[in-house]
Amino acid sequence: MTVITAPEKKSAQPPGRRGGRSAARSLVLGLVALVFGLVVWALASRGVEHLPGPAGVATEAGRMISDGMLFDDALASLRRVFTGFALGVVLAVPVGFLMGWYPVARGLIEPYIQFFRTIPPLALIPLAIVLMGIGETPKIFVIFLAAFMSCVVAAFQGVVDVDRTLINAARVLGASDRTIFLKVVIPASTPFILVGMRIGLGSCWATVVAAELIGAQEGLGYRMQNASTYYLMSQIFVALIAIGVLGLVMDRLLLRAERRLTNWQERR
């Protein structure tokens, strides 16, 4: 007897086309939001005294770019942020894994992490300057702390939240602790670590601006302070926008890395 099966229903749209339409829609919405923001800014500049409009800020940005000033300041701030952020992440991930995997290490290290996590890195700037001078070291140190505190908690929480069923199943199948850690714990903790990195990156940019207000000769934070001394509002806005653009680009790069490294997760 022949069994007739119903034909399988095919998706109306291939995944590639759906992804392309989603990207195009996101781009369109982003452009609409940008235009709306510029219109609101232009209208606000007409009603608020001393608030520069988009045209004036664009003119000032062009002048700073042609002079090389904006490039030098952005490069100095980016170098400090990247150095402190990289050092913080490199140290935070193994410390977080150590705390999450070994209860003894957790009991010894976690009180210090929780104590220093409640102290803003900005509050340590005067102490860092006294102990390390006014060079690059104290600036990178406080940026390092901002990244470290966010990432170490995320890595620790990622290890703690690993599904015990997966670990027990791996043990039943004869996997060693090393194999379980490499094949189960690290992949399951990766989303937590990447979220902590994104949070730490925002803290790094907030910290570098404050760090450059003291003892710096270049950088976007230094440029803002110098411009405020001479009441150059357009220059302040250029530095603010540059910080936002650099931070957004770095965040999007981390987000893309997160999607590639965690493509096994279900997404909405």
Q: What percentage of residues in the chain have a pLDDT greater than 70? A: 90
**CB 92 within 8 Å of CB 152:** yes
CB 210 within 8 A of CB 125: yes
Distance CA 231, CA 84 (A): 31
- Compute the average pLDDT of residues 236-247: 92
Please write the tens of the pLDDT for every residue from 78-135: 999 999 999 999 999 999 999 988 889 898 999 999 898 888 888 888 888 888 888 8
The string of pLDDT tens digits covering residues 41-90 is: 888 888 787 889 898 899 999 999 999 899 999 999 999 999 999 999 99
Q: Please report the domains of the chain, with CATH numbers, ordered by start residue.
A: 53-261 (1.10.3720.10)
How far apart are alpha carbons 135 and 151 in whole angstroms? 26
Quote the tokens at residue 199: 């949070």
CA dihedral sign, ordered 22, 24, 30, 35: negative
What is the per-residue pLDDT across 132-184, written as a single tens digit (0 to 9) for each? 888 888 889 999 999 999 899 999 988 888 888 888 888 888 888 788 888 88
